[in-house]
Amino acid sequence: MYVSSEQAGDVGILTLTHPEKRNALSRALIAELMEQMEVLAAARCRALILTAGVGARVWSAGHDINELPHGEDPLLYSDPLEQLLRAVRHFPAPVIAMVSGSVWGGATDLVLSCDIIVGDDSCSFALTPVNLGLPYNTAGTLNFIRRLPLNVAKEMIFTARPIDAAEAESWHILNHRVPTAELQSFTLALANRIATKAPLAVAAIKEQFRMLGDSAPLQPGIFERIQELRHKVYKSRDYVEGISAFKEKRPPRFRGE
């Protein structure tokens, strides 16, 4: 069991419960999470809270590095994390991320795919593909462009620096920064407020936000050029080095090859 699910009135709460692996987004954890989301959607939940619990040290470590493929596109459309991100955006009610602790890599993507984010002072967010030499994909890049000031998105992704709660607030990653002691009650109150609103209207508006957010049309030739660039990255020696260094817990030495 990697995830626990509960329903409080019209509000669903999904909690990541695998701290021994720092809630890494393994296939197994993602499968369980998506299954529980379907249960809550079927129960006509009107708001969903996604959390790792108040006071967690690590919200989630992100992608399970052991599951990344070698010499292949690690971010295919069918990749479990990509499926999860789409499931969050397609969930028929608002999804609120409630965050204590650090959020890493793909888990930051997950949190940024939620509709609303509430964090306490311990929360932090890092985007880390350049630590691994991972060829980040276009749908993911678009997610950042829609969600963050452009220069901030670039700084986060080019430096892989964790952003603390104060910065996250001033850069609008957080909707609200609240004391840890109030995190749960504040978030529940927000979710309960949404749950009193007209759910069909909420769902139709969320879907319009999604469709418009996904609108960044590119000509096929442009896209095929991007795929080639990404192909070079996941075939590079640097990608191998990035993964190895991570596993050996040493700094990588990248050579641009």
* Subset of 20-49 contacting its own copies (CB under 8 A): 44, 46
Provide the minimum distance between the beta carbon of 21 and its own copies in the complex, in angstroms, as a whole number: 25
Tell me whether residue 55 or residue 149 sits nearer to its own copies (CB atom).
149
Rounded CA-CA distance 189/191 in Å is 5
Do the beta carbons of residue 63 and residue 24 sit within 8 Å? yes
Out of its own copies, Ni ion, none, what residue 1 binds, judged by CB under 5 to 8 A for its kind, is none
Residue 83, interface with its own copies (CB under 8 A)?
A: no
| Residues found in the chain | 257
Provide the minimum distance between the beta carbon of 114 and its own copies in the complex, in angstroms, as a whole number: 8
Q: Is 106 a catalytic residue?
A: yes
Q: Is residue 29 packed enough to be buried (19+ CB in 10 Å), middle (13-18) or exposed (0-12)?
A: buried
Q: Is 63 a catalytic residue?
A: yes
Site string for Ni ion, 72-91 (x = CB under 5 A): -------x-x----------
Rounded CA-CA distance 20/18 in Å is 6
Residue 230, interface with its own copies (CB under 8 A)?
A: yes
How far the first Cα of the chain sits from its last, in Å, is: 41
CA 117 to each of CA 56, 111, 180, 237: distance values in angstroms, whole numbers, following the listed order = 16, 7, 14, 37
Tell me whether residue 53 or residue 86 sits nearer to Ni ion (CB atom).
86
Rounded CA-CA distance 49/56 in Å is 15
Catalytic residue among 2, 136, 234, 239: 136
Site string for its own copies, 125-144 (x = CB under 8 A): ----xxxxxxxxxxx-xx--
Residue 58, interface with its own copies (CB under 8 A)?
A: no
Tell me whether residue 1 or residue 217 sits nearer to its own copies (CB atom).
217
Cα angle for residues 31, 144, 66 (degrees, 5° grid): 40
Provide the minimum distance between the beta carbon of 2 and its own copies in the complex, in angstroms, as a whole number: 26
Rounded CA-CA distance 243/252 in Å is 8
Q: Which residue number places its CB atom closest to Ni ion?
A: 79
Rounded CA-CA distance 253/242 in Å is 8
Catalytic residue among 12, 63, 101, 119: 63
Size of the site for Ni ion (CB under 5 A): 2
Do the beta carbons of residue 136 and residue 112 sit within 8 Å? no
Provide the minimum distance between the beta carbon of 191 and its own copies in the complex, in angstroms, as a whole number: 10
Cα angle for residues 133, 117, 49 (degrees, 5° grid): 105
One residue of 6, 35, 70, 209 binding its own copies per CB under 8 A: 209
Tell me whether residue 12 or residue 18 sits nearer to its own copies (CB atom).
12
Active site residues: 63, 106, 136
